[in-house]
Amino acid sequence: MFTAPAMLPLLARLAEPACAGGAVDRDRADEWLAEQRRRAEAGRFLVAIPFFVASASA
Residue 45 near residue 9 (C-beta atoms within 8 A): no
Task: Output the CA angle 10-24-51, nearest 5 degrees.
Answer: 40
Output the pTM of the full model. 0.78
Amino acid at 39: R
Mean confidence (pLDDT) of the chain: 93
Q: Which pLDDT tens digit goes with each residue over 2-51?
A: 999 999 999 999 999 999 999 999 999 999 999 999 999 999 999 999 99
Q: What percent of the chain has pLDDT over 70?
A: 100
For residue 58, name the pLDDT band (cuts at 50, 70, 90).
confident
In degrees to the nearest 10, what's the CA dihedral of 25, 27, 29, 33?
Answer: 180
